[in-house]
Chain A
Amino acid sequence: AQSVAQPEDQVNVAEGNPLTVKCTYSVSGNPYLFWYVQYPNRGLQFLLKYITGDNLVKGSYGFEAEFNKSQTSFHLKKPSALVSDSALYFCAVRDGSNTGKLIFGQGTTLQVKP
């Protein structure tokens, strides 16, 4: 069965430092992977996706993610964190059926301190 794991409940980083939010997945077939961000009391916003092609995917707000097939990972990265990046981040994978349903990880809270 398809699944997604985000091993860290919270990530703390100082402003200006690089950040990484980890995600690993388990799918049968080719993975379709997504990252979303949720600010307090808001819906989820799409950041980026990997469908095929280049393993480094660039998305909104300066975020990027690296697809690693051998490690079944799709870690979210940003070279220089901003305080305004503080939010809840979700990794998701399409469930492999012909529907478009997503399976979400449990979420990682990113705290960027000034």
Chain B
Amino acid sequence: IAGITQAPTSQILAAGRRMTLRCTQDMRHNAMYWYRQDLGLGLRLIHYSNTAGTTGKGEVPDGYSVSRANTDDFPLTLASAVPSQTSVYFCASSARQGTAYNEQFFGPGTRLTVL
């Protein structure tokens, strides 16, 4: 079934540890995104990628890094986790047609707790 997968589903992490959240899509979408969801704040964009080989910063990029080596994968790395990074993380993708972008499709999320 086409869609977006994320791993792990949930994780408890000690502060200071490094963590990579994985995201894979099989829809051949050009663009991919990482959001964090916090109660009362909605979804906030962390990083995005319009196409393989390019990335950009979103609204809350500090403490996170991404890479886009190919079309399908868009991992998010926390180099040294802090408790304020406790959140639910969603990966999304969208197709691009010329300069227009279609709606985004979301993965099931990763619940991360940093102690």
Contacts and interface: CB of A to CB of B under 8 A. Distances in A.
Interface of A: 34, 36, 41-46, 49, 51, 90, 94, 98-107
B42 A43 contact: no
Contacts of A107: 42
Interface string B42-83: 111100101000001010000000000000000000000000
A90 B42 contact: yes
Interface of B: 4, 31, 33, 35, 40-45, 48, 50, 56, 58, 90, 92, 94, 96, 99-101, 103-109
A103 B48 CA distance: 13
A30 B79 CA distance: 38
A41 B6 CA distance: 13
Contacts of A49: 103
B33 A101 contact: yes
A100 B58 CA distance: 12
Nearest to B43: A104
B56 A43 contact: no
B42 A101 contact: no
B96 A100 contact: yes
Nearest to A36: B106
A100 B101 CA distance: 5
A104 B92 CA distance: 13
A98 B99 contact: yes
A43 B109 contact: yes
Given A103-B45, A104-B35, A104-B42, 16 more contacts: A34-B103, A43-B4, A43-B109, A46-B103, A46-B104, A46-B105, A49-B103, A51-B100, A99-B48, A99-B101, A100-B50, A100-B96, A100-B101, A102-B33, A105-B42, A106-B40
Contact of A43 (B33, B48, B90): B90
A107 B58 CA distance: 19
A56 to B, nearest CB: 18
Contact of B90 (A34, A44, A94, A106): A44
Contact of B45 (A90, A98, A102): A102
Contacts of B48: 99-101
